[in-house]
Amino acid sequence: MHTFVLVVHIILAVLMIGLILVQHGKGADAGASFGGGGAATVFGASGSASFLTRLTAILTALFFITSLSLAVFAKKQTSDAPALKRHQLHQPIRVKLHQLHQKLANNAI
């Protein structure tokens, strides 16, 4: 499951990069008024902007969901690690520091 979500995450990232690079910014319309054509597109004059914007929002939401899923998988994998379970502190740090201080004081005398 982790690998599947990771592959989907990478595909979404590549699709988002390509989709964002295809879109033109808000200031690009000013250049069209000085003789730059391109108003007639496949989706219509303003249809492509809304379609691409909607598709970008959907891909972004899916990317966000896969990011959270990967974070949950990483947290679960880290908390289940046997090395961490072996070295967990059973006593508060203050007690351990006090014991260490006593050992150092006894050895110094």
Q: Where residue 109 falls among pLDDT bands split at 50, 70, 90?
A: low
Residue 7: exposure state from Cβ atoms within 10 A (0-12, 13-18, ≥19): exposed
Domain boundaries, given as residue ranges, for the chain: 2-24+44-83
Tens digits of residue pLDDT in 1-21: 899 999 999 999 999 999 999
CA angle 21-14-53, nearest 5°?
50
User: Considering only CA atoms, which of 95, 79, 55 is closest in space to residue 103?
Assistant: 95
- Coarse DSSP helix, strand, coil percentages of the chain, rounded to the nearest 5 percent: 75, 0, 25
Once rounded to an integer, what is the mean pLDDT over residues 55-69? 96
Distance CA 52, CA 19 (A): 7
**Picking from 57-66, 68-77, 82-91, which range would have the lowest pLDDT averaged per residue?**
82-91
More confident residue, 50 or 18: 18
User: What's this model's pTM, rounded to 2 decimal places?
Assistant: 0.58
Res. 62: pLDDT tops 60: yes
